Amino acid sequence: MVNPLRQLRDQGQSIWYDNIERAMLLDGRLLKMVEEDGLAGMTSNPTIFAKAIANDPSYKEGLAALLRESPGLDEKALFYRLAIDDIQHAADILRPVYEKSGHQDGMVSLEVSPELAHDTDATISEAKELVSLVDRPNLMIKVPATQEGIPAVEALIALGIHVNATLLFSVARYEEVAAAYTLGLEARLRQGLPVDDIASVASFFVSRVDSKVDAALSKRLEQASSASEREAIESLFGRAAIANAAIAYMVGKERFDSERFAALKEAGAKSQRLLWASTGVKNTAYSDVLYIEELIAENTVNTVPPATYDAYRDHGKPALRLQANVADAAQILSRISDLGIDLDDITETLEQEGVRQFSESFSELLNTIAASKQALAIGQAS
């Protein structure tokens, strides 16, 4: 049986893994996924690391070693030391993919502190520090694409740093990110610096959009006064996120196929790829591989959480489908708008919630490290 995950590469889409944990780096699972599934990258975020550090005993051993070596490190410094070890190990395993792909895949993403999401200068400073500490060419720095994050994306690209602009929910914000990427490359070109070895993705979140829109549709359904009205509303469930993504895809194609970007392409620049994020299905009424199947398109990435990854390996049916969704996308979103559901308001709320959730996860992570640090201290004293 042909592995559906491997087949996605033939469709022009790269599959990255939306998870990282120390055990999979040490027991050979990551290498096996690369070799058997064609896995082409990894993404991480504060929530992922919080779960890993809380549940994997090997992190406590690493923490104890760090404290013996540098007892004065605070919780944030300890976290980054633990995370950097994992990121370096994963980057080394994925390095052959990075080289074989012309330095476009084989990336491992590490996010700047979410507490800096509204501080441009601090984001740039921490990103530069992380690049120096990790010291791997296939590191990609994740930057929340808030209003303050957009100029940070531009500045980091201008510095030659691979950037994953994350927490994108709206097409308008994606356009800002794509523009920032272009401006950063143009700044390098003006300085006579190379642009051919810079990779960037724009992480466009999917399932959370459907969760919000479906909730609004449910309320509207309760108010429906006829069977035909109910049928019209019901036909929109589970369709907003894919329509939103399809429009973003066409916007990206237009920008990176434009005359303006042609000059950068001549200098060797790569298009910034859309990366579909939040692709685990939250509504059990939908196919468990919905946000992979319907988002397959050339020159894109899908970062997939563990359960969805396993499900797609088991019963995925790869075929280019996103282009077909483009035709109906504008009409679907128009019909949702006609029902009084404001997608712009929803996506703005999702961005705010995303930053807050990652910040809360980061705080929980630091609290977990503080508790482990205290337990180790008590154990040493007894």
Give the pLDDT mean for 266-285.
Answer: 97
The torsion of the CA quartet 175, 177, 182, 183, rounded to 10 degrees, works out to: 110
State yes or no: pLDDT of 284 exceeds 70.
yes
d(CA 238, CA 236): 6
pLDDT at 378 over 70: no
Is residue 271 pLDDT above 70, yes or no?
Answer: yes
Task: Say what percent of the chain tops pLDDT 70.
Answer: 99
Q: What letter represents residue 373's amino acid? A: K
Mean pLDDT of 10-38: 96
Residue 377 has pLDDT above 80, yes or no: no
The residue written with tokens 């395993």 in the block is 93
pLDDT tens figures, 320-330: 999 888 889 99
Q: Which of 142, 212, 270, 373 is catalytic?
A: 142
343-381 vs 207-222: helix crossing angle, rounded to 10: 120
Tell me phi and psi for residue 51, to 5 degrees: -65, -45
E strands along 119-214, which residues? 139-144, 163-168, 200-205
* Average predicted confidence (pLDDT) for the chain: 94
Domain that holds residue 356: 4-381
Domain count, the chain: 1
Instruction: Output the CA–CA distances (angstroms, integers) from residue 352 to 147, 167, 169, 375, in the order listed.
Output: 11, 9, 10, 35
Catalytic annotation present for 142: yes
Residue 316 is predicted with a pLDDT of: 97
Q: Name the amino acid, one letter, at 5.
A: L
Give the pLDDT score at 379: 62
User: Is it the case that residue 382 has pLDDT exceeding 60?
Assistant: no
Q: Is the pLDDT of residue 293 over 80?
A: yes
What tens digit of pLDDT does each residue of 95-154 get? 999 999 999 999 999 999 989 999 999 999 999 999 999 999 999 999 999 999 999 999
Torsion-angle region of residue 79: left (phi > 0), alpha (psi -120 to 50) or beta?
alpha
The CA-based angle 294-299-304, given to 5 degrees, is: 50
8 A C-beta contact, residue 152 and residue 120: yes
Handedness of CA 9, 141, 87, 288 (dihedral sign): negative
Q: Tell me the pLDDT tens digit for each residue of 217-246.
A: 999 999 999 999 999 999 999 999 999 999
Higher pLDDT, residue 241 or 362: 241
For residue 270, what is the DSSP state?
P
Mean pLDDT of 299-319: 97
Residue 181: CATH number of its domain: 3.20.20.70
Q: Which residues of 113-135 are buried (b: 16+ CB within 10 A; e: fewer)?
A: bbbbbebbebbbebbeebbebbe
pLDDT tens-digit series, residues 44-70: 988 888 888 888 888 888 888 888 888
Cα separation of 341 and 351, whole Å?
17
Neighbouring residues of 44: CB distance < 8 A, sequence distance ≥ 6: 19, 20, 83, 86, 87, 108, 109, 110, 111, 142
- Confidence at residue 150, expressed as pLDDT on a 0 to 100 scale: 98
- Span 174-186, mean pLDDT? 98
**pLDDT score at 380:** 61
- The alpha carbon dihedral of 24, 29, 34, 38 has a sign of negative
On whether the CB atoms of residues 43 and 14 are closer than 8 A, the answer is: no
